[in-house]
Amino acid sequence: MTKISNQTPGPRGLHTKTGLVWIEGYQTVDAEFENDQQLKAALATGWFIKGERKAPGGDDGSDVVSLKAEIDRLTSANAVLETENGQLKADLEAAKGNGGGSTGGYTVKEQSAGWHAVVDAEGKVVTKNLRKADLAEFDGMNDADKAAFIDLNKVD
């Protein structure tokens, strides 16, 4: 048996070997788990801790220690999310800079005053000349839409 405390003010459900157990806010129960993964999953929610946890405002100072530990946990989790978010933003910008996809590295180039066409990575024109407004959405298209657009507007 393991002592598990709900460290939130409201009731939370805990999956144990015997089924779902509701733990009221800041209460502690003895629970038995199927395996270590089940316990780790419960602790990973941030709602539960091993051992006893008293409600905030106790005169033993445990609330301050507990809140500092929670701040450290949330700060660490936030740093991970910020890193992931930065990577996703960089990937998005790279995709935008790559014409929105990898279909041959197509880009829109002006051919003459007011007339534009799609060119491939080698600089070969692959569509007929179109007005800029007709190509405004090209860079944001996915690979399949770009291929269809090129096929529909191919050079005669």
Residues 23 and 66 in one domain: no
Range of the domain at 35: 1-53
Domain count, the chain: 3
pTM beyond 0.85? no
Residues 7 and 40 in one domain: yes
| H-type alpha helices, 1-156 | 36-44, 62-97, 143-152
Nearest to 21 by CA among 66, 37, 38, 62: 38
Structure tokens at 103: 């279909």
Residues 43 and 9 in one domain: yes
Q: Does residue 102 form part of some domain?
A: no
Residues 28 and 74 in one domain: no
Residues 1 and 48 in one domain: yes
Q: What is the pLDDT along the chain (156 residues), one digit of tens a residue?
A: 899 999 988 899 999 999 999 999 889 999 999 999 999 999 999 999 998 877 776 655 566 777 888 899 999 999 999 999 988 888 887 777 654 444 458 889 999 888 999 998 888 999 999 998 999 889 888 888 898 999 999 987
Q: Does residue 82 form part of some domain?
A: yes
Q: Does residue 124 form part of some domain?
A: yes
